[in-house]
């Protein structure tokens, strides 16, 4: 149920707040290169989530940030009040993908103003029903959570760096999180079990009611405490150009759909995972978030139908 292109944001939707990075990415893949492309978890999640529901972005950029390039977000009704702008350089990442694009090397990282990021939620963002804590220092994630007004769904992401270096903070935070959103490798590093199934069970014992395990081009698995897992393959793309942001747009699409439908029952969670999968499949068709900029509700619905036809038996 993405927003149709003709309707304004539904007032019956829940709101989604995403707290994470805003970045300028230089990306090399076998299919080309993009310089200083819009990137970062908060922007990807915001671009994807706003296709479904009202989104508040909380992130930080430097005074070199090309504000005009995110006008498409404002036009979609994204609240950018929490996008703090400070003197200095925007977070920059430069990566190069291998031939099959499952692997990449990070060539350089310049944290810039992101190094001093201390997220403050504007009032509207603090009241959102769904809070996405994208990958930042778990101490900051914890501070963000304290600023909220009883969200219905708190979602947590992280990365190997924090799992290794800040495990105690993550373990404490997980007790107050409803959903963990990790990739296979992060999950294994965090709990170290026998298999994805075993790892997910252990993760759910640590606090979250739901775990969504991302497997890149191989899809995702949703684990809950009382239902069978939901196995969601990725939507296969004929000519992928750039995987950057696929995982974050998956998250944004999934949570945007949950916000739009106001329903976190297990059946709707499965549909949300599929919508996330569909949005991510568009993301990889162009560099950075170019495809997300033009994507519309009809395209999403059409691909949702195509996906169903690819999994029925």
Given 127, 178, 219, 262, the residue binding a second copy (CB under 8 A): 219
Residue 231 C-beta: closest distance to a second copy, Å: 4
The DSSP 8-state label assigned to residue 79 in this structure reads B
Residue 217 C-beta: closest distance to a second copy, Å: 8
CA-CA-CA-CA torsion sign (116, 47, 292, 214): positive
User: Residue 107 in contact with residue 94, Cβ under 8 Å?
Assistant: yes
Task: Reduce the DSSP state of residue 72 to 3 states and report it.
Answer: helix
User: Is 221 near a second copy (CB under 8 A)?
Assistant: yes
Residue keyed to tokens 């990566």: 95
Cα–Cα distance between 157 and 48 in angstroms, integer?
Answer: 16
Closer residue to a second copy, CB minimum distance, 123 or 267: 267
User: Is 306 near a second copy (CB under 8 A)?
Assistant: yes
Cα–Cα distance between 243 and 175 in angstroms, integer?
Answer: 31
Given 6, 7, 108, 195, the residue binding a second copy (CB under 8 A): 195
Closer residue to a second copy, CB minimum distance, 125 or 274: 274
User: Is 228 near a second copy (CB under 8 A)?
Assistant: yes
The DSSP 8-state label assigned to residue 184 in this structure reads H
| Binding map of a second copy across residues 249-288, x = CB under 8 A, - = no contact | ------------------x--xx-xx--------------
Given 9, 233, 263, 299, the residue binding a second copy (CB under 8 A): 233
Site for a second copy in 89-148 (CB under 8 A): 100
* 21 contacts: CB under 8 Å, gap ≥ 6: 40, 41, 42, 43, 59, 91, 114, 117, 134, 135, 136
Closer residue to a second copy, CB minimum distance, 6 or 100: 100
Closer residue to a second copy, CB minimum distance, 68 or 309: 309
The footprint of a second copy on this chain (CB under 8 A) covers a number of residues equal to: 36
Cα–Cα distance between 188 and 171 in angstroms, integer?
Answer: 14
Residue 119 C-beta: closest distance to a second copy, Å: 34
User: Residue 191 in contact with residue 182, Cβ under 8 Å?
Assistant: no
User: Residue 34 in contact with residue 288, Cβ under 8 Å?
Assistant: yes
Element (H, E) at 104: strand 104-110
Strands 16-19 and 210-214: unpaired
Cα–Cα distance between 56 and 58 in angstroms, integer?
Answer: 7
Select from 43-51, 75-83, 212-220, 293-301 the region that touches a second copy (CB under 8 A): 212-220
Select from 42-50, 84-92, 293-301, 304-312 the region that touches a second copy (CB under 8 A): 304-312
Residue 57 C-beta: closest distance to a second copy, Å: 29
Length of the chain: 313
User: Is 198 near a second copy (CB under 8 A)?
Assistant: yes
Q: Applying CB under 8 A, which residues contact a second copy?
A: 100, 188, 194-198, 201, 215, 218-219, 221, 228-234, 236-240, 267, 270-271, 273-274, 306, 308-313
């Amino acid at each position: 149920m993405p927003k149709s292109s003709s309707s304004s944001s539904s007032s019956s939707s829940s709101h989604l707040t995403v707290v994470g990075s805003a970045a300028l990415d230089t990306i090399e893949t076998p299919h080309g290169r993009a310089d200083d492309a819009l990137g970062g978890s908060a922007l990807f999640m915001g671009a994807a989530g706003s296709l479904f529901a009202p989104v508040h972005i909380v992130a930080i950029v430097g005074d070199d940030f090309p504000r005009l390039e995110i006008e498409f977000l404002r036009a979609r009704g994204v609240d950018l009040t929490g996008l703090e702008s400070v003197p200095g350089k925007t977070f920059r990442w430069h990566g190069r993908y291998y031939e099959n694009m499952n692997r990449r090397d990070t060539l350089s990282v310049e944290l810039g103003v992101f190094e001093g990021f201390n997220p403050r939620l504007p009032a509207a963002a603090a009241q959102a029903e769904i809070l996405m804590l994208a990958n930042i220092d778990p101490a900051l994630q914890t501070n963000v959570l304290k600023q909220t007004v009883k969200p219905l769904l708190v979602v947590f992401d992280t990365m190997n760096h924090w799992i290794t270096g800040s495990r105690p903070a993550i373990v404490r935070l997980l007790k107050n999180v409803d959903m963990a959103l990790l990739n296979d490798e992060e999950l294994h590093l965090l709990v170290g079990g026998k298999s994805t199934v075993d790892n997910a069970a252990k993760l759910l014992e640590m606090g979250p009611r739901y775990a969504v395990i991302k497997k890149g081009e191989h899809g995702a698995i949703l684990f809950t405490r009382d239902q069978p897992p939901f196995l969601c393959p990725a939507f296969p793309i004929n000519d992928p150009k750039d995987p950057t942001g696929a995982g974050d747009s998956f998250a944004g699409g999934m949570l945007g759909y949950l916000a739009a439908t106001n329903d976190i029952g297990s059946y709707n969670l499965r549909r949300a995972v599929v919508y996330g999968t569909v949005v991510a499949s568009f993301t990889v068709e162009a560099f950075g978030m170019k495809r997300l900029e033009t994507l519309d509700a009809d395209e999403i619905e059409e691909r949702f139908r195509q996906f169903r036809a690819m999994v029925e038996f």
